[in-house]
Amino acid sequence: MRFTLNGTAISLDVVGTRRLLDVLREDLHLTGTKEGCGEGECGACSVLIDGEVADSCLIAVGQVEGRAVTTVEGLADGGRLTALQQAFIEHGAAQCGICTPGMLLAAHVLLQQAQRLSAADVREGLAGNLCRCTGYTKIIDAVLACAK
Amino acid sequence: MVTTSTIGRSVPRREGAAKVTGAARYTDDLVVPGAWYGKTIRSTVPRGRIRSITLDPTFDWSRVVVVTADDIPGDNVVHLIRDDQPVLAPKGGEIRHKEEPILLLAAAHRGTLEEAARHVRIELEPLPPVYALEEATEVFTTLEIRKGTVVDDLEEGVVVERTFRVGLQEQLYIEPQGAIAIPEANGAIKVIGSLQCPYYVHRALKRALKLSDQQAVVVQAETGGGFGGKEEYPSIVAVHAALLARKAGRPVRLIYDRHEDLAATTKRHPGVITHRTVVKKDGTLVSQDIEIVLDGGAYCTLTPVVLSRAAIHAAGAYSCPNVRIRARAVATNTPPNGAFRGFGAPQSLFAAELMVEHVAERLGRSSVDLRRQWMLRLGDTTATGQELTESVGAELVLDAALKACGTVGRSDGRTVKRGRGLSLVFHGSGFTGSGEKKLQGTIGLEALADGTFRILTASTEIGQGTKTIFCQLAADALGVGLDKVVLAPQDTSLVPDSGPTVASRTAMIVGRLVQEAATEVKERLKREKAPLRVEKSYIQPDSIHWDENTYRGDAYPVYAWACTIADVEVDMTTGEVRVTDLVTAVDCGKALHPVMAEGQIEGGCLQAVGWATIEEIKMKDGGYQNDRLATYLIPTALDAPRIRTILVENPYSRGPFGAKGIGELPMDGPAPAIIAAIHDATGVWLDEIPATPEKVLAACASR
């Protein structure tokens, strides 16, 4: 099967029913995508499929045939952190870091989709991604710092 | 060149870039060639005896490694406080809780593993279980704290008696438990895992696998949250993985999925706490008689220490001449409860704070004024008779929190009612009593030939900032740039035992050792050349006295203080409680890194909001009914209030730059503040958390 992964076209010989999460982590060694619950509740495994946030633990790899998949590894451009990644570091939005990849992707989409964002918009946009360390305040501050 | 100190500045987190790019490697991210997958087969009954374990002969077992209690080379004991918990339940032995580990499997492929698991037959003879704390007859431990003589009643006085209940809570670190065991040369076994306390795991491995100090090697991988849940439990995961690896002769990965993690691992101790408080008509606090019962679950784990912290904090942040605190922890046939941020104090402070509210209500007084009248001040003594000689921040945090809050918006509508509540709490920093003295935590600091420095400590980074803060402290004392200092990996073959990463002790106790070692290295470098190494161990100051037998004396080196104000909205038709605003003023001594201090406080507060409102574990036949993330709910960004933190710096003379421990404190204050806010909104008092819609509606209906 073929799909675009972090901007690069790839072709893979895999069983289409396997979870996208496992193919990313085990076959492609992109371990930035995490498994927190395996049933679509925590968002640690969030990836972008054609620019939309999706739980890679609930998606069979066959479903991404011909589509564009972005993982946390695809955010930084040639090692240069994005403004959002920088803001996460500066505002203390990453503590233990296990929710951070999924949180970043969800926030990235929010910033792409809306010109202006309120704190309430950010809360709603990140409601599918659980964090147990920060109380969310610093994550929301980081995202708002990047909003226009 | 002058190097600017970074103390008090929020420099970037050391491992921040790795965490935002996905490069940070957590246990399950590690690629270990040739590793098999492991699995734990558990009890399906809450109490019983193993009659037989049969491996179905129709299945090809040559592809699978099976480990039972008979394969344990050392003691069949999870090494901790008491030797009551087996690594694996032995044949004929008693099973004491659902999900108790009985047998371990490993195979090259997950499919084989699942198939093998279906071909294990365990015949169990059920025994009658005990679930309710009130019905429990087996007692793990009791203790009593006495100050003066409590009175039952008082002429011209007011007596208030009330009982409170608190429920189970799951730590819910987002990375589930996991360990990878790798057999090495000379009978050594290396375990890499998600854990808070490398030397706990080290001792557990040595004991169960009969290994020498050198043969057992424990390495912490990047760890996705702990909150106490990765204090003692990782010993079980690590020993299981090591037993499988030893028998298989190859590496074994034992990674829990969320369901197994929720179903089998430790929770916060539930409890029942009764207060009888006697005051004079003018509000003078005369007597506090307190009884605490905690449910330890099936095995002892850390329960005696949890009970101890619960009892010492039970009288609250107040000065009372006559106090009696009787505490006991009982055994039930439910999965063992264990360490969780706050360690018993959130349970007992919940009751203590609500008692202030009830007494104030009886006296017709403002509870804020009553707190001012009662609160501990410099020179006062606590329930254990500890005289507070410095850094007493009760009044400072109360004033700071009140100042930060506007007036509460009153409810106009009938369906949604608004209210505000306040709490004032304290939390002992560091181990209780003689804990630090007994442990004598040790760190090392090396000056390397290339002009850089390396800190050697077993204190782990679990998101709270150990890596960054230790480097800040060392760089400051050495007078070098932050980039010249690194933390050695948390690997027991490299670093000394600086103690577990628990008890709000890392920055204050271990951070101070880092500071002292760096100061000495700097001095020595004036006369000597690198490489050189300095070790520093904790020395108990002569001024700290503690009697473990009588529970009298200096229970903690110092206390951190917090005042929390919560605003809530209660939907009177659905019973739903929403925390809309939360302000917390925290006396942290000194914020070494303000952003991290705030982050830790905010996260702790939200964990407490969850405990107080939505995090409920329903029991069924000795197991947890909601053992999936779809049914065990924690606050999302939508549920969470904006938490406003006010850092109050009231320095402690023996903390680095005055810093005190704040890891656990934020767990203590929000729950009673929220219950008081619900009362303010609705006029009803809840005596039990979580304040679920069902409880709120029932309380309103019975009013």
Do both B340 and B475 map to the same domain?
no
Q: What is the mean pLDDT of residues B558-578?
A: 97
The residue out of B212, B239, B264 marking a domain boundary is: B264
Q: What is the mean pLDDT of residues B64-90?
A: 98
Question: For residue B136, is it within any domain?
Answer: no
**Closest chain A residue to B226, measured at CA:** A96
590-619 of B, contacting A, C-beta below 8 A? 595-596, 598-600, 602-607
Consecutive H or E run containing A122: helix A119-125
In the block, tokens 């002790």 appear at: B505
Question: For residue B351, is it within any domain?
Answer: yes
* DSSP 8-state class, residue B509: I
Question: For residue B381, is it within any domain?
Answer: yes
Q: Which of A37, A104, A133 sits opposite B258 (nearest CB)?
A: A37
Q: Which of B173, B462, B603 sits opposite A134 (nearest CB)?
A: B603
- pLDDT for B406: 77
Q: Which of B223, B604, B634 sits opposite A96 (nearest CB)?
A: B223
Is A97 close to B19, i.e. CB distance below 8 A?
Answer: yes
Question: C-alpha distances in angstroms, B559 versus B383, B387, B664?
Answer: 14, 12, 11
Q: What is the mean pLDDT of residues B513-533?
A: 98
Q: Which of A98, A127, A138 sits opposite B599 (nearest CB)?
A: A138
Q: What is the mean pLDDT of residues B650-657?
A: 98
Question: For residue B440, is it within any domain?
Answer: yes
Q: What is the mean pLDDT of residues B307-335?
A: 98
Q: B369: Cβ–Cβ under 8 A, 6 or more apart, which residues? A: B283, B360
* DSSP 8-state class, residue B197: -
The residue out of B215, B242, B264 marking a domain boundary is: B264
**C-alpha to C-alpha distance for B414 and B511, rounded to whole angstroms:** 53
The residue out of B264, B287, B302 marking a domain boundary is: B264
Residue B333 has pLDDT above 80, yes or no: yes
Do both B504 and B644 map to the same domain?
no
Q: Per the structure block, which two tokens stand in for A34?
A: 């995490």
- pLDDT for B409: 64
- pLDDT for B662: 97
Is B638 close to A127, i.e. CB distance below 8 A?
Answer: yes
Do both B557 and B426 map to the same domain?
yes
Q: State chain B's mean pLDDT as an integer.
A: 97
Residue B189 has pLDDT above 90, yes or no: yes
Residue B221 has pLDDT above 90, yes or no: yes
B10-51 residue pLDDT tens: 999 999 999 999 999 999 999 999 999 999 999 999 999 999
Tell me whether B649 touches chain A (CB under 8 Å): no
Confidence of residue B411 (pLDDT cuts 50, 70, 90): low
The size of chain A, in residues, is: 148
Residue B410 has pLDDT above 70, yes or no: no
- pLDDT for B3: 75
CB B558 within 8 A of CB B619: no
pLDDT along chain A (148 residues), means of 10: 97 97 98 98 98 98 98 93 98 98 98 92 98 98 94
Cα B224–chain centre separation: 15
Question: For residue B146, is it within any domain?
Answer: no
- pLDDT for B546: 97
Residue B1 has pLDDT above 80, yes or no: no
B479: domain CATH number is 3.30.365.10
Q: What is the mean pLDDT of residues B309-323?
A: 98
Do both B363 and B419 map to the same domain?
yes
CB atoms inside a 10 Å sphere around CB B135 = 10
Contacts of A104 in chain B (CB under 8 A): 20
Is B173 close to A96, i.e. CB distance below 8 A?
Answer: yes
Domain region containing B194: 32-129+172-264
Q: What is the mean pLDDT of residues B345-365?
A: 98
Confidence of residue B2 (pLDDT cuts 50, 70, 90): low
Amino acid making up residue B221: A
Q: Would you say the ipTM is above 0.95?
A: yes
Q: How many structural domains is chain B composed of? A: 3
Task: Spell out a b/e string for B140-178, using b for 16 or more CB atoms within 10 Å of the CB, else e.
Answer: bbebebbbeebeeeeeeebbbebebbbbbbbbbbbbbbb
A2-74 CATH fold: Ubiquitin-like (UB roll) (3.10.20)
Q: How far is A49 from chain B (nearest CA, A)?
A: 18
Do both B289 and B400 map to the same domain?
yes
The superfamily in CATH containing domain A83-146 is [2Fe-2S]-binding domain (1.10.150.120)
Do both B277 and B246 map to the same domain?
no
Is A132 close to B599, i.e. CB distance below 8 A?
Answer: no
B362-394 residue pLDDT tens: 999 999 999 999 999 999 999 999 999 999 999
Do both B123 and B256 map to the same domain?
yes
34-93 of B, contacting A, C-beta below 8 A? none
Do both B318 and B208 map to the same domain?
no
Contacts of B175 in chain A (CB under 8 A): 34, 36, 44, 96, 98
- pLDDT for B483: 97
Consecutive H or E run containing B323: strand B322-331
Do both B519 and B578 map to the same domain?
no
Do both B297 and B335 map to the same domain?
yes
Confidence of residue B408 (pLDDT cuts 50, 70, 90): low
Contacts of B28 in chain A (CB under 8 A): 31, 34-35
Do both B211 and B70 map to the same domain?
yes
Q: B642: Cβ–Cβ under 8 A, 6 or more apart, which residues? A: A119, A137, A140, B581, B582
Residue B344 Rama label (left phi>0; alpha psi -120 to 50; beta)? left
- The full set of domain ranges for chain A reads 2-74, 83-146
Task: Spell out a b/e string for B404-425, using b for 16 or more CB atoms within 10 Å of the CB, else e.
Answer: eeeebeebeeeebbbbbbbbbb
